């Protein structure tokens, strides 16, 4: 299965992502958002937001939310302003 990942990060992008923070990756069936974050070594880098197909997935739901073939996972730090 494949998913598209969009990473918006002030810390740069992991290997395998293009200069815009995009990658298409192979995943195994049943992988959770938390599993994907660990794969990119993002689990310990502070707070961040996650979207799956444009819908926000809060931190407490990431372990249970399984990714499906063709999903788009967007990962970015919280945005503040005013």
pLDDT tens for each residue of 15-71: 788 888 899 999 898 899 988 888 876 655 567 899 999 999 999 999 999 999 999
Three-class SS state of 4: strand
Length of the chain, in residues: 82
Q: What is the DSSP string of 33-70?
A: HHHHHHHTT-TTS---EEEETTEE--GGGTTT-B--TT
The residue extents of the domains of the chain are: 2-76
* Domain 2-76, CATH class in plain words: alpha beta
The reported pTM is 0.85
């Amino acid at each position: 299965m494949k998913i598209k990942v969009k990473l918006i990060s002030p810390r740069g992008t992991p290997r395998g992502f293009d200069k815009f923070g995009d990658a298409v990756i192979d995943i195994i069936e049943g992988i959770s958002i938390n599993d994907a974050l660990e794969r990119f070594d993002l689990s310990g880098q502070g707070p961040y937001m996650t979207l799956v197909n444009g819908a926000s997935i809060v931190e407490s739901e990431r372990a249970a939310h399984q990714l499906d073939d063709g999903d788009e996972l967007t990962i970015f730090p919280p945005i503040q302003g005013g």
